[in-house]
Chains A and B, each alone.
Chain A
Amino acid sequence: MQYVSNSPGTQEQILKAIGAGSFEDLIRNVPKSIRIGRLNIAEGLSELELVRALDETGAVNRNFKHFIPYLGGGCYDHYVPAVVDRLALRGEFITAYTPYQGEASQGTLQSIYEYQTAICELTGMDYSNASMYDGASSLAEAALLALRHTGRRRVILPASLHPEYAEVVRTYLSFVDCQIVTVPWKKGLTDPAEISRAVDADTAAVIVQQPNFFGLLEDAPALAAAAHQAGALLIACVNPVSLGVVAPPGEYGADIAVGEGQPLGNPVSYGGPHFGFFTVQEPLLRRMPGRICGRTVDKQGRTAYVLTLQAREQHIRREKATSNICTNQALCALKGAIYLSLLGPAGLRRLSLLNLDNAHRAFRRLTELPGVTPFSDGPFFNEFAVRIERDPVKLRHNLLKRRVLGPLSLERFYPDMKNTYLVAVTEKRTDSDLEQLCAAVEES
Chain B
Amino acid sequence: MSASIFEKHSHNDGSWLPRPAGAETEVLACLPEALRRRTAPKLPTVSELDVVRHFTTLSQKNFCIDTNFYPLGSCTMKYNPKVLDAIAASTAFSQIHPYQDEEQVQGALKVLYEMQKLLSEITGMDEFTLQPAAGAHGEFCGLLITSAYHKSRGVTKRKVLIPDSAHGTNPASAALCGYEVVQIKTDVRGLVDRADLEAKLDDDVACLMMTNPSTLGLFEEEILEIARAVHAKGGLLYYDGANMNALVGICRPGDMGFDIVHLNLHKTFAVPHGSGGPGSGPVGVKKDLIPHLPRPRVLKKGGAYAFEKDAPASIGKLRTYYGNFGAVIRSYAYILALGAEGLEGIARNAILNANYLKEKLKDIFELPYPGPCMHEFVASARSQKAKGVRALDIAKRLLDHGVHAPTVYFPLIVEEAMMIEPTETESKETLDRFVEILRSIQQEIDQDPQKVLEAPHTTPVSRMDEVRAARQPDLRLR
Contacts and interface: CB of A to CB of B under 8 A. Distances in A.
Given A23-B352, A327-B279, A62 B96 contact: yes
Interface in B20-76: 20-22, 24, 27-28, 30-32, 34-46, 48, 51-52, 54-68, 70, 72, 75
28 contacts: A2-B341, A4-B424, A18-B355, A34-B252, A34-B256, A50-B87, A59-B92, A63-B96, A86-B52, A92-B64, A94-B85, A95-B65, A98-B273, A106-B461, A107-B59, A108-B58, A114-B4, A136-B317, A268-B96, A269-B96, A270-B105, A272-B278, A273-B278, A321-B168, A324-B172, A334-B274, A353-B27, A405-B104
Given A93-B275, A111-B58, A348-B43, A36 B250 contact: yes
B359 to A, nearest CB: 5
Contacts of B430: 5
Interface in A169-195: 170-172, 174-176
A31 interface: yes
Given A247-B34, A260-B320, A308-B473, 20 more contacts: A27-B250, A36-B124, A36-B249, A43-B340, A51-B86, A61-B93, A107-B62, A108-B276, A117-B4, A167-B316, A251-B37, A272-B133, A273-B324, A275-B278, A297-B464, A299-B463, A324-B173, A331-B277, A332-B277, A341-B43
A349 B465 CA distance: 39
Contacts of B352: 6, 11, 14-15, 18, 23, 26
B462 A324 contact: no
Nearest to A360: B30
A97 B343 contact: no
B14 A350 contact: yes
A1 B337 contact: yes
A423 to B, nearest CB: 12
A247 B35 contact: yes
A121 interface: yes
A341 B172 contact: no
Q: Which 5 A-B pairs have the closest CB atoms?
A: A271-B321, A58-B92, A44-B339, A347-B14, A91-B66
A27 B395 contact: no
Contact of A35 (B40, B250, B333): B250
Contacts of A23: 348, 351-352
Interface stretch (B106-114, B229-237, B282-290): B106-114
Interface centre among B27, B276, B463, B473 (most CB of A within 10 A): B276
A388 interface: no
Contact of A51 (B14, B17, B87, B359): B87
Interface centre among B45, B95, B98, B319 (most CB of A within 10 A): B319
A193 to B, nearest CB: 17
Interface in B318-364: 318-327, 329, 333, 335-345, 348-349, 351-353, 355-356, 359-360
Interface residues of B, number: 201
Interface stretch (B135-143, B383-391, B439-447): B135-143
Contact of A327 (B52, B60, B134): B134
Contacts of B333: 50, 54
A2 B470 CA distance: 45
B300 interface: no
Interface stretch (A199-207, A312-320, A367-375, A435-443): A312-320
Nearest to A407: B99
B261 interface: no
A295 B275 contact: no
Contact of B27 (A26, A165, A357): A357
Nearest to B148: A174
Interface string A65-78: 10001010111010
Contacts of A77: 95, 97
A293 B329 CA distance: 30
B399 interface: yes
Nearest to A408: B99
A303 B468 CA distance: 12
Contacts of A34: 224, 251-252, 255-256
Given A97-B72, A221-B34, A245-B36, A87 B56 contact: yes
Nearest to B85: A89
A326 B135 contact: yes
Interface string A320-342: 11011111111110100010111
B188 interface: no
Contacts of B78: 3
A105 B97 contact: no
A81 B15 CA distance: 11
A427 interface: yes
Interface in A206-248: 217, 219-221, 243-248
Contacts of B27: 353, 356-357, 360
Contacts of B341: 2, 38, 43-44
B93 A325 contact: no
Contact of A130 (B35, B57, B276, B428): B276
